[in-house]
Structure 1
Amino acid sequence: MAADSAQRWASTLDSVVVYAQGAVCRRLARGSVPPDGRVRVTGLPRSLDPGSLRARVLGAPGVRVTEARVEVEPEPLGTGRPEELRGEVERLSDEHAAAQGRRDRQLNRIEEVRALRPVPPVRRREDPHRRTPVDAWLELADFVDERLAGLHRRLVELEEALQNVEHQLAVASDRLARASTDAPSAHVDTTVCAVLTLVGTGDAEVELELEYGAPGAVWVPAYRLTHRQGDGTGRLVLRASVAQRTGEDWTGVRIALATADLRRRTDLPRLRSIRIGRSQPAPAPSGWREPPAGLADLFSGYEAAGPGPASAAALPAVAAGSAPGASAGGPLPPPPPPLPQSYGSPPAPAPAPGGAPPGLLGGGMPALAQPAGPRPGDRPRAGSRSFADAPAPMAPAAPGGAVPAPPPAQVAGPPQPSGAELDYAAVVLCGPDEQSGRRGRLFPGSPYDPVAAEYRRRAETVAVLPLPGQAVRPRESAGSFDHRFDTAARADIPSDGTWHTVTVGEIPVGLRTEYLCVPSVEQAVYATLVLSNDTDQALLAGPVEVTVDDDFLLTAALPTLAPGGVRRVGLGPAEGIGVTHRTNLRESTSGLRGNTTVLDHRVHVELANRLARTVTVEVRERVPVTTDPDVRIEERADWTEPEEGAGPDRYAPGTRVWRLDLPAGDTAALDGGYEIRIPTGKALVGGNRRS
């Protein structure tokens, strides 16, 4: 039964998984299976990938899907908001053109009036000198000034009207550009539907699930962090900025966000066994059979009727172009391009006696060779004899009567059609106007759809959208691992190609406030939040809005946080904690005959807590590091050397740390130092010895 008579089922979009680029959509349809089992599910977007369509039956074990195919149907376009916007843009475009025309005509009038000049009559030699009529000149100047003043007033009005129309046209064009691409952009809509064939028993309603991939969807993570001072926990809400231009609005759907690459191949390679022993004939490919007998005589009556009007007009031109070359002994025209072999194509004919190529007829006109090569765009399967193992067309005879070398012997056996040739619903039967090697046989049709290609090209424009501030794409921050985040509630995302914020859910994190200062670099204390990821999913890099005690503080950049990882987020200077840093250097000599230079560095740090709570402060200093065994560094302080991997930071070599809890309103003094002992022969004279 034809697909047009199939029962039509409406479908609703239920869930979408947005990947790093692209999305996989899931639709649901419900209905009773017709007697013939043919069902047409409507509502699919125009930009979907036809090769990604999957269908299955839910909750009905006795019913299954045996065929699923994508088809495009034209239908008249109804009226709607996008059509109203398009009509408004067309109307304003006409008004803009009319206003611009009126303005241009007014400018032409001004130029005509401005060009008015008094022109004296031509004076002859015998004519006496004439007096200039000053009154006439002044009257003309007054007329021109008065006329130009009126024209310029009218010009100002026309330019204001033109600017207003230009503004309205720009606003309407922007609304149309931002309108959802779910609506078509032509007066005739082309809808996409899935034609399914169901097999099974069951009179009750069944539910179908359709899954397909569509380009034109991207997302980046964002966060909102709420923290109260003195509390060891916080609320980290994961949000996502999603932009999609798939051609369908996502209304009330469940959205999942994944960091995987949708275009990455996931199929496993097929490993063929290699056996040593007797060669065995290759098994016949499934779906291939010998062509029917008498296929060459199928179009004998069509040939006996003579060529058609187009062929009859083309024959004299071909003959006229080839006869002179043949009679003059010139080179023969090149053979036509090789054609692909169809199901059951006979092998190429053997060379004719005397070495003449079988592809040549009398009069030097090349005959059509047997199909032996692929058409442009055909991609045969590896190991297929359909294209690669078919005999090639014979070349023309070489000058001087030399006989060309015969082609190599071909392996016996039936041809092996490729996957495209085994797609029976996509092959096309060539008609009588095709070449003799193609007509009456099945060949794969052209899968290219220019309209669908334009929809996909338009959908891919979301990949170049400017990212929000401090946002990082998921593939750049996820590394070599892939993660998926499911939203807690359904969301609406129109197909307009702009960023929309979706709340994914709350993530429990460990949180504590620490204060950090490096007084040798800057005498200021900075507040930081130390985050620990206690979940089994990574937190991707992105912007985080920090709110402390219900007051928005700043927007910081959250780095990628692996499961169980700890990172630090800076909150800016803490004005309530003061720090003072003083250093003292004494230089002396020691040893026998003073052969060692001693540089004694003393460090004094004072902290003052002017906040109303106890704070934890980490003070960092740096001790010189040397690789010379003759240079010794001796430390005299109660600071400690940080352990790598024990905290959220990475420390430079020679870093020393003081950590202390400073009560509210209290002060603390920290003293430290180190000595550098350098042999006199290796010491530099002068220079900055403090650093």
Structure 2
Amino acid sequence: MESEVAQRWASSLDAVVVYAQGALCTRVARGTVPADGRVRVTGMPRSMDPGSLRAKVVGDQGVRVTEVRVEVDAEPSGTDTADTLRHEMERLRDVCAAARGRRDRQLILISEVTALRPVPPTRKPEDPPRRTPADAWLRLAEFVDERLRGLHLRLVELEEDLRRVEHELSVATDRWVRASTDVQPGHVATTVVAVLTLVGTGTGRGTSTGTGTGTGTVELELEYGVPGAVWVPAYRLTHRQGDDSGTLVLRASVAQRTGEDWTGVRVGLATADLRRRTDLPRLRSIRVGRRQPVPAPSGWREPPVGLADLFSGYDAAGPRPVPAAVPVPVAAAGAFPPPPVPQGYGTPAVPALAQVPSPPASLDYTLPPPMPGTVPPPPPAPLGYGAPPPAPAELTGFAGAPPAAFGAAGPAPAAPRTPSGRPSGGAGPAARRVAAPDAMASAAAVQAGPPPPPQSSPVAVGPPQPSSAELDYAALVLSGAEENDGRRGRLFPHTPYDAVADEYRRSADAVSGLPLPGHAVRPRESAGSFDHRYDAVARADIPSDGTWHTVTVTDIPVGLRTEYVCVPSVEQTVYATLVLSNATDQALLAGPVEVTSDDDFLTTAALPTLAPGGVRRMGLGPAEGIRVTRRTNLRESTSGLRNNTTVLAHQIHVELGNRLAHPVTVEVHEQVPVTTEPDVRIEERADWTAPEQDSGPDRHAPGTRVWRVDLLAGGSATLDGGYDIRVPAAKALVGGNRRS
């Protein structure tokens, strides 16, 4: 028991790097290396990718990891399971249904009392008029009022109880829906463990830790990938009026449903794709000539010769009896020995004649036992590697190589035929009763000589190319006699963890469909062709509930300049903007930013992607403290020697007023017509300037002109400009000449 406890090491999650989709987790485990060097590290999530598991020893402790594997264990779960929340939700649902039923019954009772009213008896035509019993009517009305008063007071109490229970039910339902996937439902919990083999670096396969005693503490670091984690950037910008710098706090909205809670971990954020392969391709050289380089051996070996005869005795004994239908005596329990196991992977094991059992008398099986000196009838030829081996001459140089994938199913060869034309094996019990004499003849034919080769068969050239899963010999499982003909007696990769993790992986990938927060952009879309990584300055807690959680990453100093922009020809409103300059070596990805100026929250805007050294403008909304007014005037005249030119003189008058308590800089944008006609000229009459054109999203339209005006606090300015359009007198502008 103490040895078993020493072999299990508990681990704790230390760091997580969240990628565009998925995450790379790092766990730390410490303990004393046992005598056999095998350690089981617990705490792995159920949705982890087993192919991404890596392990190493931290520091130079005289121990190295030679093997790491993934196994699945089942153990009783604790009292704190996901079923507790579900049971609480179901209990409150029943309580809510009972409260709603009491409220409904109270409403029915109120309706019945309300329907009470006096009904006079039917008066016959010959009866004299009767006096109305007013006292009885009044007493009935008082009874109804008093009764309704009590019923309505009770109804108020029932409705209050119903609202309280409905609120508790909604809270319990929300907690059950948002419950962390780290807690498993049910009473049996499946845990994923990593099995490691530690070997001392100085003593071969010993477990020395450098001290020679084997009792030192070794620290392991395990890294693995998990799906079901996404993140988007978010920011908070703080600046002061009049300052040329500010602080940009980078935050991240992280959502994960990996199956384990991230508690007190170092968080890193990356824009790369975790599932994208980054290994370089191997380029193989080809020589001109007969002599070629010998390929490196892969460790693959052909299946043993005579594999088809391994289960001949098992097939000759007939189907296995069912204990419920056909009772087998105790003496006959050894009549069905297990199939013989080959001594080595490349050594055939043919069963001897003494190992061929006789069928029990209770079975309806008419195949006689084999006679001395004969070979048992061969079973039906299985698929793929179970086909009869080729001639020895064809085996040289892999001329008759089997299919590329070890264990893959190929075309089924034709079964051997008897002289009478019936198949020698592979039929059911009823067919065996008929074909038994012919099977003996077929066995004699096998002794006489091999059957003639087929007329045509595809020949594979070159050695087989097994996959990486088929070269993982520790994960290969030998298929027994109960398997079908294409798998029995062969090695196939078997990873029981995949069946357990498929459901958790599908549940974890659902986090990719979460709706994004406002103005949020996924990092792969905003990062472009570059990848960036951001590391949080403090540890964080992120539960595995599939909802967004905000994590503060770091502070980024940025350059700020407040400018005001207006386009009075479109709208006579001045808009406030922030010009951000990124002087750091990290890019700022697109995302929402909360702008705070002088400790006052302004707005939540969309920050564009800002590369290192880039400058971008971000809008903050209308500036109510600055007014703008625009007036235009058009005069049409003619010029030239014969008045053959029409002159359209446009005059623009813009007035600006600053009602803020600090000076501002305003950019006034105007549009000058652009023409491609050779006989149309445009002459500008203003002191504006043409902006610099760039290829970014802030690219200006052709013909844009800009006035830059500095306004003092409470000051005003007047801008005058214009342009003349000269066209031939015989032509006119599209839409008319007289338009602004």
TM-score tier by shorter-chain length is: 0.7 to 0.9
8 A contact 2:70–2:497 mirrored in 1: no
The residue number in structure 2 matching 1:410 is 459
Cα 1:684–1:531, aligned 2, differ >3 Å: closer, same or farther? closer
The residue number in structure 2 matching 1:605 is 654
Whether 1:582 aligns to 2:631 is yes
8 A contact 1:344–1:414 mirrored in 2: no
The residue number in structure 2 matching 1:191 is 191
The residue number in structure 2 matching 1:248 is 260
User: How far apart, CA to CA, are the structure 2 residues paired with 1:23 and 1:647?
Assistant: 32
SS at match of 1:175: helix
Q: Alpha-carbon deviation of 1:404? A: 12
8 A contact 2:71–2:497 mirrored in 1: no
User: How far apart, CA to CA, are the structure 1 residues paired with 2:625 and 2:170?
Assistant: 52
Aligned residue type for 1:12: S
Cα 1:436–1:615, aligned 2, differ >3 Å: closer, same or farther? closer
8 A contact 2:577–2:619 mirrored in 1: yes
The residue number in structure 1 matching 2:251 is 239
Cα 1:111–1:46, aligned 2, differ >3 Å: closer, same or farther? farther
User: How far apart, CA to CA, are the structure 2 residues paired with 1:522 and 1:292?
Assistant: 86
| Among candidates 264, 289, 295, match of residue 277 of structure 1 | 289
| Among candidates 307, 313, 316, match of residue 319 of structure 2 | 307
Cα 1:53–1:75, aligned 2, differ >3 Å: closer, same or farther? same
Q: Alpha-carbon deviation of 1:345? A: 10
Whether 1:226 aligns to 2:238 is yes
Q: Alpha-carbon deviation of 1:667? A: 2.3
Give identity over the alignment, percent. Answer: 74
SS at match of 1:638: coil
1:58-93 deviation digits (Å, cap 9, x = unpaired): 102532111111111111111127453233124334
CA RMSD of aligned residues (A): 4.3
8 A contact 2:573–2:628 mirrored in 1: yes
Aligned residue type for 1:594: N
Alignment of 1:274-673 (within 5 A): 274-278=286-290, 285-289=297-301, 302=314, 306-310=318-322, 368-372=380-384, 384=404, 386=406, 392-394=412-414, 406-411=455-460, 415-435=464-484, 438-445=487-494, 449-645=498-694, 649-673=698-722
Aligned residue type for 1:275: R
Q: Alpha-carbon deviation of 1:443? A: 1.9
103-112 or 517-526: bigger deviation: 103-112
User: How far apart, CA to CA, are the structure 2 residues paired with 1:17 and 1:435?
Assistant: 45
8 A contact 1:478–1:540 mirrored in 2: yes
SS at match of 1:682: coil
The residue number in structure 2 matching 1:16 is 16
The residue number in structure 1 matching 2:221 is 209
Aligned residue type for 1:248: E
8 A contact 1:566–1:648 mirrored in 2: no
Alignment of 1:123-202 (within 5 A): 165-200=165-200, 201-202=208-209
User: How far apart, CA to CA, are the structure 2 residues paired with 1:282 and 1:686?
Assistant: 81
Aligned residue type for 1:518: V
Q: Alpha-carbon deviation of 1:651? A: 1.4
The residue number in structure 2 matching 1:349 is none
The residue number in structure 2 matching 1:52 is 52
User: How far apart, CA to CA, are the structure 2 residues paired with 1:430 and 1:311?
Assistant: 23
User: How far apart, CA to CA, are the structure 1 residues paired with 2:307 and 2:514?
Assistant: 57
TM-score of the aligned structures, taking structure 2 as reference length: 0.73
Q: How many residues align?
A: 610
User: How far apart, CA to CA, are the structure 2 residues paired with 1:289 and 1:261?
Assistant: 37
SS at match of 2:721: strand
8 A contact 1:6–1:40 mirrored in 2: no
Q: Which runs of 5+ in 2 are unaligned?
A: 113-139, 201-207, 327-343, 349-366, 368-376, 387-401, 422-451
SS at match of 1:455: helix
8 A contact 2:384–2:486 mirrored in 1: no
The residue number in structure 2 matching 1:87 is 87
8 A contact 2:658–2:713 mirrored in 1: yes
Q: Alpha-carbon deviation of 1:446? A: 5.4
The residue number in structure 2 matching 1:681 is 730
8 A contact 1:6–1:38 mirrored in 2: no
1:29-76 deviation digits (Å, cap 9, x = unpaired): 111211211000111111111111111111025321111111111111
Q: Alpha-carbon deviation of 1:467? A: 1.2
1:575-598 deviation digits (Å, cap 9, x = unpaired): 222222121111101112211100
User: How far apart, CA to CA, are the structure 2 residues paired with 1:578 and 1:105?
Assistant: 66
Q: Alpha-carbon deviation of 1:395? A: 8.7
User: How far apart, CA to CA, are the structure 2 residues paired with 1:373 and 1:383?
Assistant: 8
8 A contact 2:81–2:185 mirrored in 1: no
172-181 or 659-668: bigger deviation: 659-668
User: How far apart, CA to CA, are the structure 2 residues paired with 1:208 and 1:50?
Assistant: 17
8 A contact 2:304–2:345 mirrored in 1: no
User: How far apart, CA to CA, are the structure 1 residues paired with 2:63 and 2:693?
Assistant: 61
The residue number in structure 1 matching 2:69 is 69
User: How far apart, CA to CA, are the structure 2 residues paired with 1:404 and 1:156?
Assistant: 95
SS at match of 2:505: helix
Cα 1:389–1:302, aligned 2, differ >3 Å: closer, same or farther? closer
Q: Alpha-carbon deviation of 1:522? A: 2.0
Cα 1:102–1:450, aligned 2, differ >3 Å: closer, same or farther? farther
SS at match of 2:698: coil
Cα 1:39–1:637, aligned 2, differ >3 Å: closer, same or farther? same
Q: Alpha-carbon deviation of 1:614? A: 2.3
8 A contact 1:284–1:414 mirrored in 2: no
8 A contact 2:82–2:186 mirrored in 1: no
Q: Alpha-carbon deviation of 1:658? A: 1.3
The residue number in structure 1 matching 2:270 is 258
User: How far apart, CA to CA, are the structure 1 residues paired with 2:250 and 2:315?
Assistant: 73
8 A contact 2:407–2:491 mirrored in 1: no
Cα 1:274–1:168, aligned 2, differ >3 Å: closer, same or farther? same
User: How far apart, CA to CA, are the structure 2 residues paired with 1:216 and 1:470?
Assistant: 22
Q: Alpha-carbon deviation of 1:512? A: 0.8
TM-score of the aligned structures, taking structure 1 as reference length: 0.78
User: How far apart, CA to CA, are the structure 2 residues paired with 1:248 and 1:290?
Assistant: 43
SS at match of 1:425: helix
The residue number in structure 2 matching 1:32 is 32
Q: Alpha-carbon deviation of 1:689? A: 2.4
Q: Alpha-carbon deviation of 1:5? A: 8.0
Aligned residue type for 1:563: P
8 A contact 1:546–1:552 mirrored in 2: yes
Cα 1:369–1:215, aligned 2, differ >3 Å: closer, same or farther? same
Cα 1:465–1:435, aligned 2, differ >3 Å: closer, same or farther? closer
8 A contact 1:285–1:417 mirrored in 2: no
SS at match of 2:197: strand
Cα 1:604–1:291, aligned 2, differ >3 Å: closer, same or farther? closer
64-73 or 384-393: bigger deviation: 384-393
User: How far apart, CA to CA, are the structure 1 residues paired with 2:651 and 2:588?
Assistant: 43
Cα 1:194–1:389, aligned 2, differ >3 Å: closer, same or farther? closer
Cα 1:581–1:166, aligned 2, differ >3 Å: closer, same or farther? closer
Q: Alpha-carbon deviation of 1:162? A: 6.8
SS at match of 1:230: coil
SS at match of 2:525: helix
SS at match of 2:503: helix
User: How far apart, CA to CA, are the structure 2 residues paired with 1:613 and 1:160?
Assistant: 56
152-161 or 190-199: bigger deviation: 152-161
User: How far apart, CA to CA, are the structure 1 residues paired with 2:475 and 2:168?
Assistant: 49
